[in-house]
């Protein structure tokens, strides 16, 4: 979709798209108005004054650009000599899904399901076999933790069951284990808390925009999160004790898993150690330019005219599940408010119908050009 939209809109004079560039700042500090109304994208020596600038660099990069544009916590910006345009808590609400990955070994399995040369040939010739699967995770489940409010009908733990991992043999021989003496294939289960309480933050380390910021996710800074992850791991333990997994497939903890944890396996001490050494953040970061803190309900940055942030950083709190759908909803919301602001004249009556017509026109435009790429 990203390539499609780029191909269809790149020749429109009212839209300027920059790909794979370093943005050092967004705002023209030379304006003398109380409301900073001149917004610029700087790419090398090119300055383009625009009606609106849409920042969509993601939860980890959008705040970095805002920092160097003078939008962020005053104390931090002044410490690096960056003129403060808007004192806002950018980067102060870093949230992510948190879990643990349990590495397992399956000692009884069907050789026909292994990823080897014969599986590759089978896929290339017939488009079937183990390599025709949908991807790494083909099964997921949702369950309640001991802290969940079941009246909301909203499970707060998610499990990803990852299949066979492709491995490199010692000598190149088909079917040979990557690890000498290992009898079996590696699999894993990810146990994830969907509503962790811990909140992190990000900070600058330099006034140079080429220097990356530092992220402090602060996992397990809230005591409830350790309990959530332990609950999730205990569910996995119950699954692993099932007759089918133990006897039919010979599944057990990988011998090399969590060697740092010396307490008895599955004890409270062992689970806490595993949670800290095998922490598995899900790369679902949200909230670093959240609505209500940095943005208003139209995704516009407070006190900055003509600048909106439309990406996962606008989401105030983790959704209970993968964030893709919510990110798409944020994008749809952004489309509607931009369309509304672009209507040249106030309609005679409630503008809702006109806004919907503008949005539908945009959808029709996308569908028309999408069909040409199928």
Residues identified as active-site: 284
Adjacent-strand bridge partners of 90 = none
Other Cβ atoms within 10 Å of 202 Cβ, number: 23
DSSP for 245-271, please give it.
IIIIS-EEE-TTTTTT--SPTTSHHHH
How far apart CA 17 and CA 31 sit, in angstroms, is: 24
CA-CA-CA-CA torsion sign (210, 288, 280, 265): positive
- The residue among 58, 55, 61 whose CA lies nearest residue 17 is 55
Residue 143: which of 191, 196, 198, 95 has the closest Cα?
Answer: 191
| Residues 191 and 164: beta-carbon distance below 8 Å | no
122 with 128: CB under 8 angstroms?
yes
Cβ pair 96, 302 in contact under 8 A? no
């Amino acid at each position: 979709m990203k390539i499609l939209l780029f191909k269809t809109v790149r020749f429109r004079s009212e839209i300027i798209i920059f790909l794979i560039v370093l943005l050092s700042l967004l705002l023209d500090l030379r304006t003398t108005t109380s409301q900073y109304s001149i917004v610029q994208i700087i790419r090398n020596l090119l300055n383009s004054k625009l009606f609106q600038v849409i920042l969509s660099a993601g939860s980890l990069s959008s705040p970095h650009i805002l920092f160097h544009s003078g939008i962020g916590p005053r104390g931090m910006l002044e410490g690096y000599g960056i003129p403060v345009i808007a004192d806002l808590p950018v980067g102060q609400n870093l949230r992510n899904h948190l879990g643990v990955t349990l590495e397992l070994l399956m000692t009884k399995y069907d050789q026909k399901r292994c990823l080897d040369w014969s599986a590759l040939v089978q896929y290339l010739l017939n488009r079937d076999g183990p390599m025709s699967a949908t991807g790494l995770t083909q099964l997921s489940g949702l369950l309640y933790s001991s802290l969940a409010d079941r009246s909301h009908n909203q499970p707060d733990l998610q499990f990803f069951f990852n299949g066979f991992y492709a491995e490199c043999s010692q000598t190149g021989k088909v079917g040979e284990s990557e690890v000498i003496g290992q009898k079996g294939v590696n699999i894993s289960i990810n146990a994830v808390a969907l509503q962790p309480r811990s909140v992190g933050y990000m900070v600058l380390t330099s006034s140079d925009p080429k220097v990356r910021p530092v992220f402090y996710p602060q996992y397990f800074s809230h005591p409830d999160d350790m309990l959530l992850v332990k609950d999730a791991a205990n569910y996995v333990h119950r699954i692993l004790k099932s007759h089918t997994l133990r006897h039919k497939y010979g599944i057990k903890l990988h011998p090399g898993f969590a060697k740092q944890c010396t307490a008895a396996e599955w004890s409270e001490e062992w689970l806490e150690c595993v949670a800290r050494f095998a922490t598995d953040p899900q790369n679902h970061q949200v909230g670093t330019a959240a609505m209500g803190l940095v943005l208003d309900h139209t995704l516009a940055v407070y006190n900055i005219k003509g600048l909106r942030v439309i990406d996962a950083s606008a989401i105030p709190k983790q959704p209970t599940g993968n964030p893709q759908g919510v990110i798409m909803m944020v994008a749809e919301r952004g489309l509607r408010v931009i369309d509304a602001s672009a209507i040249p004249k106030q309609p005679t009556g409630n503008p809702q119908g006109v806004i919907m017509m503008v949005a539908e026109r945009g959808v029709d435009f996308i569908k028309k050009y999408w069909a040409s790429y199928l």
